[in-house]
C-alpha cells in the first residue's frame, strides 16, 4: 500500500511539473520543450527554421544573440477575413535555446483590417444593390472593430462573446414588409459582420499559433548527424 501511495505521488509530481512548462493565455503562449540536443544543435536548427519559414530572415529577426541562445522575431499572417475585408495578424516570437531544452513565447499579438479588391469601387459597382449594401456595412463594421482596439488578449474573447450577443439580439428585418422582400436591415448586417470579423480573428489566431508551435517544435527537435 505504501508503494502505491509513493507511485501516485510521483505521478502527480510529474503531471504538475509538466503543467508548469506551458502557459497558454489568449494572445500569449509560452512553452518549455525538453529535447536531447545540445545548445549549438538547437541554434542551428532554429536558424534553419526561420530561414525556411519566413520570406526574409533579415526583416523578420529583431534580436539575434548566439551567445545567450536568444532569438526574437516579428511575424505576420494575412488572409481574407470576410467578403470585402482582409485580415492581418502580427505577433512577436521569442525563442531561447539551452542544452537539452528550448523555450518559446508568442506575445504582443495585434490584428489589422483592410478593404480588399471586392470592396474596390471599380468592382463593387457591378454587384447587385443588396450585395453592395452588405459589403459597405461590412466595411463599417470593420472600422468599428478597429476603433475598439487591435490587441489580441484575454479581453478579446469577451469582445467576441459580446458581439455574438448583440448580433443575435438585433432584428434581422425592420418590418414584415422588409422581411417579405428580403431587405435585411443595416443594423443587423453591421452587427453580424462585426461578430463574423471578430470570430474570424479569434479562430485564425489559434490556427496561426498552432501552426507556428507545431512547425517550430518539429524543426528544433531534429537530429541531423549527416
**Do 88 and 203 form a contact (C-beta atoms < 8 A)?**
no
Is residue 148 helix, strand or coil? coil
The string of pLDDT tens digits covering residues 146-190 is 999 999 998 999 999 999 999 999 999 888 887 787 788 999 999
The pLDDT score that the predictor gives to residue 225 is 64
Q: Is the pLDDT of residue 193 over 50?
A: yes
Q: Identify whether the C-beta of residue 163 lies closer than 8 Å to the C-beta of residue 191.
A: yes
Could you report the per-residue pLDDT of 208-222, keeping only the tens digit for each? 999 999 999 999 999
Query: Stretch 99-111: mean pLDDT, rounded?
Result: 96
Please report, to the nearest 10 degrees, the dihedral formed by the alpha carbons of residues 79, 129, 145, 24 taken in order. -40
Is the pLDDT reported for residue 196 higher than 70? Answer: yes
The stretch 9-28 carries a mean pLDDT of 55
| pLDDT, tens digit (0-9, with 9 covering 90-100), for 79-96 | 766 678 999 999 999 999
- The sign one gets for the Cα dihedral 56, 60, 66, 71 is negative
Instruction: From 147, 162, 143, select the one nearest 202 (Cα to Cα).
Output: 162
CATH number given to 22-220: 3.30.530
114-136 average pLDDT score? 81
Supply the pTM of this predicted model.
0.83
Q: Please give the grid coordinates belonging to residue 217.
A: 517544435
State the CB neighbour count (10 A cutoff) for residue 39. 17
User: Over 50: is that where the pLDDT of 36 sits?
Assistant: yes
Residue 1 scores a pLDDT above 50: no
pLDDT of 99 > 50? The answer is yes
pLDDT for position 22: 77
Domain-wise residue ranges, the chain: 22-220
Cα distances (angstroms) measured from residue 165 to each of 113, 159, 160: 22, 10, 9
Model confidence band, residue 17 (pLDDT cutoffs 50, 70, 90): very low
Amino acid at each position: 500500500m505504501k508503494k502505491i501511495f509513493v507511485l501516485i505521488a510521483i505521478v502527480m509530481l510529474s503531471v504538475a511539473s509538466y503543467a508548469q512548462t506551458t502557459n497558454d493565455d489568449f494572445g500569449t503562449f509560452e512553452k518549455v520543450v525538453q529535447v536531447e540536443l545540445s545548445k549549438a544543435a538547437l541554434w542551428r536548427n532554429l536558424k534553419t527554421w526561420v530561414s525556411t519559414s519566413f520570406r526574409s530572415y533579415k526583416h523578420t529577426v529583431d534580436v539575434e544573440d548566439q551567445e545567450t541562445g536568444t532569438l526574437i522575431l516579428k511575424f505576420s499572417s494575412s488572409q481574407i477575413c470576410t467578403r470585402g475585408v482582409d485580415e492581418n495578424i502580427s505577433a512577436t516570437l521569442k525563442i531561447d535555446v539551452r542544452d537539452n531544452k528550448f523555450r518559446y513565447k508568442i506575445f504582443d499579438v495585434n490584428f489589422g483590417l483592410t478593404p480588399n479588391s471586392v470592396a474596390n469601387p471599380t468592382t463593387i459597382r457591378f454587384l447587385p444593390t443588396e450585395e453592395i449594401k452588405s459589403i459597405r456595412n461590412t466595411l463599417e463594421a470593420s472600422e468599428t472593430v478597429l476603433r475598439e482596439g487591435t490587441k489580441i488578449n484575454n479581453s478579446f474573447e469577451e469582445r467576441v462573446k459580446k458581439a455574438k450577443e448583440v448580433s443575435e439580439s438585433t432584428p434581422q428585418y425592420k418590418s414584415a414588409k422588409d422581411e417579405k422582400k428580403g431587405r435585411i436591415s443595416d443594423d443587423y448586417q453591421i452587427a453580424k459582420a462585426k461578430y463574423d470579423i471578430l470570430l474570424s480573428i479569434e479562430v485564425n489566431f489559434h490556427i496561426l499559433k498552432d501552426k507556428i508551435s507545431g512547425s517550430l517544435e518539429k524543426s528544433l527537435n531534429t537530429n541531423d548527424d549527416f
